[in-house]
Structure 1
Amino acid sequence: MGSRGAAANEAIEGLRELAGGGLEAAEVFRRADELLRGVLEFDAVCWHTADPATGLVNSVLSDDLSLDRFQDAVRLEVWVDDVATFPKIRRAGVRAETLSRVTRGRPESSARFREQIDPAGFGDELRTVFDAHGGMWGCAAFMRARDRGPYLGRQRQLADTAARHLGHALRACHLPQVGEASEGSSEGPAVLVLGSANQPLAVSGPAEELLARLADPSPSALSVPTAFAIAAEQARRAACGLAASEAKIRVQTREGRWFVLHAAPLEGSAGGEVTVVASPASPSDAMPLYLSAYGLTGREQEVALLLVRGCDTRDIARLLAMTPYTVQDHLKSVFAKAGVASRRELVARIMLAGGP
């Protein structure tokens, strides 16, 4: 038990260090794999980044799994009201859950288990969500072979702690990168028409280049990046009159540029075609993401947003019903977290990273 506890502590300490490493998301995931595989005792893992505002998955990475049925996985996530989905785990106020626990030892009651996990030879699944400062920055599914038995309670608790540190590490991956992220900021929207299997039927000129910039770290059966497929399926679900997340997903390019994907069924089409428009994120879309990436509290984000919009200390105090001294305290914290010394520097950093 002592060696087990020491290994778990070592893994958590390694994950804590990832938040300050200046890594990309794929590097965070691969380093987390090295730290967690031995203590969680999983045999395969599928990692995802997510739109921090909605929690919708927008990329996929797996070095273990064949993703030739990833289209089916997307369909299950969007259309099937299964147990222990990423949104349900998050709404439950936890960061980790196992299929064996939530089904009380009857994983076959899960559509995901019947259609994907069991046919692939796995016996249990542990899912985690990577939340930090009000945003969901990613999530993961850890599978283990049948002969290992179900995940233990201590492993679920360890995964919950690990997920908190991974949330901070992924948040740090999305910090504004002034200069690099502004590249291409004047480009117009890209438009795709996707068929019923989310295959491109028509692509505008800028879309081809954008698809390459948003490509998933791991190749899959999808012929478009994950974010486009998720947006399209959400739009189809809404068109059927079913409850759905908004058919809008935020996704960041490797250069640090945020794009917003809007999806809607193609008017007059009976074949399930969907139009997806990808536009550079406007300041109103990008600013909350940048402020959350800095690790600002909800109140600090409110103060910073008003500041960026041109309000002075007195205006902010009046609008947020606080004293000017309290506003100044919040501003000091905002500047420290953002690594700037003045209002002008904060505005410049956010606006230069976000583009016009």
Structure 2
Amino acid sequence: MTARLEGTHRLRYTIAAEAQHAVDVPELGHQLSQQVKLFLPHDGYMLAGLDPLGDATCFFTAEGGYSIGFNNRLEEADSLGDEPHPFAQLLRGPARVGVLNTSSTAHRDSLRLRGMVAEDFGSEMRIALAASGYALGALVLLRRRDTKPFSSADTARAEGLSAPLAEAVRRFMARQALRPSRLTLPTGVVVIGPDDTIRSVTPTVWDWLRLLSAVAPVAVGKLERTENLRYVTRNISLLARRARRPVTSRIATRDGWVSVQGQPLGGEESGTVVVTYQQATAATLLPSLSAWCGITSREQTVLGLLLQGMPTKRLARKLDLSPHTVNDHLKAIYRKVGASGRDELVASF
């Protein structure tokens, strides 16, 4: 028992540490899967990162997971809360883990249960990744029908891994903080009808789609680009329609931060959602960046004024602080985001 506990503690440390070495989203998913397999063997996984301020997807990767079509149907059902263990519920606890086995008789009418059988999976484990009051990600582990289903003991182990996995996602996103922007694209706009059909698209949307293909949940294979677009916009449009308010996801790409916002229309257009793609401004990015990097509310205030070009002495007077205290705040901010100084930090916004 002692050896197992020590192994679990080492695994928790390793999971968080591994995220610091992942160069991209697929590598992050693969590394975390390999570490988790030591205690929770699985045949496939799906990992999503969530914007901490709105639960919208900011990255997605998978190996041996559900098919695209089935995953789409599940996302719709999950947004309605009709399926067992919806992530919206798991992310807010107290239980962070939910298991669904095809041998279960409690959820016979579950779309997920029927789909699992069709896709030759016998057991699914959902792990919500939340820490410090923020929803940071979602991990799905899958086992084939010819293997042992996830047990109550597996569930207990997974509960202990939820926080380290959340920390791994947080560290990975914090490393994306310094992304000097090279974005010059005009805003892209997509109009999605109540039945999820794409009604209209501005030409620049296809350029945004190519930019997001490495980090957003984009379909693979020889599909029409409208199918790829539908796959990318599905999450944000479903969330906006359910919340009946604008929902934003900030996404780190190789060329800088992108803001993707879904906004529901009212009146005669009720149920229609407008999705926009544009460069993330400092005001848009700062709240999520603060959550990922552990920036305090006072540091966030200092950073906001810094990004407005305010000199240190004037900033100190405005906040009724000494220049020494302001410099301490700035040093903490630089350390948390990995910046060498003011110039490098400002260039990333």
Pick the TM interval, shorter chain. Answer: 0.7 to 0.9
User: What is the rounded CA distance, in whole Å, between the counterparts of 1:85 and 1:252 in structure 2?
Assistant: 26
The one-letter code sitting in structure 2 at the alignment partner of 1:229 is R
Give how far 1:30 is off.
0.9
User: What is the rounded CA distance, in whole Å, between the counterparts of 1:67 and 1:88 in structure 2?
Assistant: 23
After superposing the two structures, state which structure 1 stretch, 65-74 or 224-233, moved more.
Answer: 224-233
Give how far 1:3 is off.
6.0
User: What is the rounded CA distance, in whole Å, between the counterparts of 2:162 and 2:78 in structure 1?
Assistant: 21
Note if contact 2:170-2:293 (Cα within 8 Å) is conserved in structure 1: no
User: What is the rounded CA distance, in whole Å, between the counterparts of 2:48 and 2:230 in structure 1?
Assistant: 12
Note if contact 2:193-2:273 (Cα within 8 Å) is conserved in structure 1: yes
User: What is the rounded CA distance, in whole Å, between the counterparts of 1:177 and 1:88 in structure 2?
Assistant: 33
May I ask how many residue pairs the two structures share in their alignment? 335
- Residues 131-280 of structure 1: matches in 2 within 5 Å? 131=131, 135-145=134-144, 147-152=148-153, 153-178=155-180, 182-184=181-183, 186-196=184-194, 198-215=196-213, 216=216, 219=219, 223-224=228-229, 226-237=231-242, 243-244=243-244, 246-265=246-265, 268=268, 273-280=272-279
Cα RMSD after superposing both structures: 3.6
The one-letter code sitting in structure 1 at the alignment partner of 2:24 is E
User: What is the rounded CA distance, in whole Å, between the counterparts of 2:98 and 2:331 in structure 1?
Assistant: 42
With structure 2 as the length reference, what TM-score do the two structures score? 0.78
User: What is the rounded CA distance, in whole Å, between the counterparts of 2:300 and 2:84 in structure 1?
Assistant: 34
User: What is the rounded CA distance, in whole Å, between the counterparts of 2:330 and 2:174 in structure 1?
Assistant: 20
After superposing the two structures, state which structure 1 stretch, 30-39 or 55-64, moved more.
Answer: 55-64
Correspondence for 1:87: 88
What CA deviation, in whole Å up to 9, does each residue of 1:34-59 have, x standing for no partner? 11123112333211122232122244
Note if contact 2:233-2:275 (Cα within 8 Å) is conserved in structure 1: yes
- Residues 46-85 of structure 1: matches in 2 within 5 Å? 46-65=46-65, 66-80=67-81, 82=83, 84-85=85-86
Q: Which runs of 5+ in 1 are unaligned?
A: 238-242
Note if contact 2:129-2:135 (Cα within 8 Å) is conserved in structure 1: yes
After superposing the two structures, state which structure 1 stretch, 52-61 or 207-216, moved more.
Answer: 52-61
Task: Sort the Cα spacing of 1:116 and 1:302 in 2 relative to 1 into closer, same or farther, 3 A.
Answer: farther
Secondary structure of the 1:72 match is helix
Secondary structure of the 2:51 match is coil
User: Are 2:38 and 1:38 aligned?
Assistant: yes
User: What is the rounded CA distance, in whole Å, between the counterparts of 2:255 and 2:109 in structure 1?
Assistant: 39
User: What is the rounded CA distance, in whole Å, between the counterparts of 2:22 and 2:42 in structure 1?
Assistant: 27
The one-letter code sitting in structure 2 at the alignment partner of 1:76 is A
Secondary structure of the 2:88 match is helix
Task: Sort the Cα spacing of 1:198 and 1:156 in 2 relative to 1 into closer, same or farther, 3 A.
Answer: same
The one-letter code sitting in structure 2 at the alignment partner of 1:78 is S
After superposing the two structures, state which structure 1 stretch, 40-49 or 110-119, moved more.
Answer: 110-119
> Following TM superposition, where does structure 1 have runs of at least 4 consecutive aligned residues deviating by more than 6 angstroms?
none
The one-letter code sitting in structure 2 at the alignment partner of 1:172 is A
What CA deviation, in whole Å up to 9, does each residue of 1:178-220 have, x standing for no partner? 2xxx222x32111123355545343211111111222346636
User: What is the rounded CA distance, in whole Å, between the counterparts of 1:336 and 1:247 in structure 2?
Assistant: 30
With structure 1 as the length reference, what TM-score do the two structures score? 0.77
User: What is the rounded CA distance, in whole Å, between the counterparts of 2:152 and 2:91 in structure 1?
Assistant: 19
Percent identity over the alignment is 18
Give how far 1:22 is off.
5.2
User: What is the rounded CA distance, in whole Å, between the counterparts of 2:97 and 2:30 in structure 1?
Assistant: 21
User: What is the rounded CA distance, in whole Å, between the counterparts of 1:106 and 1:22 in structure 2?
Assistant: 40
